[in-house]
């Protein structure tokens, strides 16, 4: 099996870290008042937004953690489905960042737009596509 390039490994690590962060967020939402509470100091608005979602917030974060872990695994294996999952997650995140900037007026989220666009362009590049076409990795 061909080895992934440094760029694909870095992107796989990026999604693995995303899975870890979403998983910790899920745990913090399920255990209010626990040792995880200080993490909300990083983004107090997130705590308020998640509280407004009620019981669906931990489920959402669990789904995000699972999707990120799945993308990380697929990218690392150079599986075509892994590239597709990563692309879908990046597109959804890009749309979310742009929507937050427009609807909520939170211009800080715009930093995610060029980053997401660059990662999407990388995954769509001919060289990366060739890497994923050269493998026959299955689930």
Evaluate whether residue 50 is within a structural domain: yes
* pTM recorded for the entire structure: 0.88
In a domain, 112, yes or no: yes
In this structure, the number of other CB atoms found within 10 A of the CB of residue 37 comes to: 12
Tell me, yes or no, whether 88 lies in a domain. yes
In a domain, 116, yes or no: yes
Distance, in Å, from the CA atom of 132 to the CA atom of 123, rounded to the nearest integer, reads 10
* pLDDT exceeds 80 at position 139: no
Q: Is residue 22 part of a domain?
A: yes
The confidence band for 1, taking pLDDT boundaries of 50, 70 and 90, is low
User: Could you report the per-residue pLDDT of 78-106, keeping only the tens digit for each?
Assistant: 999 999 999 999 999 999 989 988 888 88
- In-domain check, residue 87: yes
Domain that holds residue 10: 6-133
Domains in the chain: how many in total?
1
Residue 68 domain-assigned?
yes
Rounded distance between C-alpha atoms, residue 8 and residue 5, angstroms: 5
Position 138 in a domain: no
């Amino acid at each position: 099996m061909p080895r992934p390039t440094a760029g694909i490994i870095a992107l796989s690590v990026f999604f693995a870290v995303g899975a870890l962060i979403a998983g910790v967020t899920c745990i913090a939402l399920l255990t209010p008042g626990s040792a995880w509470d200080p993490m909300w100091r990083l983004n107090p608005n997130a705590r308020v937004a998640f509280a407004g979602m009620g019981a669906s917030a931990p489920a959402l974060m669990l789904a995000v953690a699972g999707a990120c872990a799945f993308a990380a695994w697929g990218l690392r294996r150079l599986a075509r489905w892994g590239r597709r999952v990563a692309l879908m997650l990046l597109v959804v995140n890009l749309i979310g960042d742009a929507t937050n900037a427009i609807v909520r007026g939170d211009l800080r989220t715009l930093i995610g737009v060029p980053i997401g666009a660059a990662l999407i362009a990388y995954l769509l590049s001919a060289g990366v596509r060739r890497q994923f076409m050269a493998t026959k990795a299955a689930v």
